[in-house]
Amino acid sequence: MTAPEAGAPPPGAPPPVVRIVAAPASTAALRSLALLGATLVEALRARGYRTVTAERRPAGGLSVMLASGGRIGVERAVAAAALGGFVAGIDPRADLVLALGFDEAADAALPSIEVTGGEPAGTAGGGLAGRLATIGATELNASLQSGGRSRLVDDLAALLDARLLGGGDAAASEAAPADGGLPGVGLLGRLRRLARRG
């Protein structure tokens, strides 16, 4: 029997939860949240992970999109801290939970990916202790509209894989950026530096 990889949840533990948040909650950033969640689920699926998306409804309750594509509506509130255990009860094979709409101060202890209204305000891993990455809505939309797979989303999937799921190698994306820019510039460089520190 081998020990779990660094960053991998222990066997039988609920799946880790990552919040995808808009800060500040601008219209451009809020529009990008759902698109980022959907594309990140696909990028993680390509890596072999079963990802569940849980979205807090404005009027209370929860909408859960299972890895199988099924959707469940829950009429009671579920705290962010209990979300991993709640999802494990519904889908015990889930590897990761992406949480949308969990923007309360009490939710801030969970790791997060922050989408800002324009360009990223800070670097990945900086500022808030649980922040994994900061992405500008403009940068995200440009990456998603570039045709083919989004390099930015693939890098985020590699980061989640290395930091929370114990598989893969975040350094796998060390090749030159797709836009021909210099390595270490922009989000890709920030993600690489963060992965090296982790």
From the list 15, 18, 74, 84, the residue with the least C-alpha distance to 50 is 15
Residue 169, pLDDT > 60, answer: no
| Cα–Cα distance measured from residue 168 to residue 131, given in angstroms and rounded to the nearest whole number | 20
Arithmetic mean of pLDDT, 170-191: 41
Question: What pLDDT is recorded for position 41?
Answer: 93
Question: With contact defined as beta carbons under 8 Å apart, do 104 and 79 qualify?
Answer: no
pLDDT, the chain, mean: 76
The model's pTM is: 0.74
Sequence spans of domains, the chain: 17-146
Q: Residue 122 — left, alpha, or beta (φ > 0 → left; ψ -120 to 50 → alpha)? A: beta
* Tens-place pLDDT, residues 99-142: 998 888 888 889 999 888 765 544 444 344 578 888 888 888 88
In the chain, which ranges are E strands?
A: 17-22, 51-56, 62-65, 71-74, 96-100, 112-116, 131-136
**CATH fold for domain 17-146:** Rossmann fold (3.40.50)
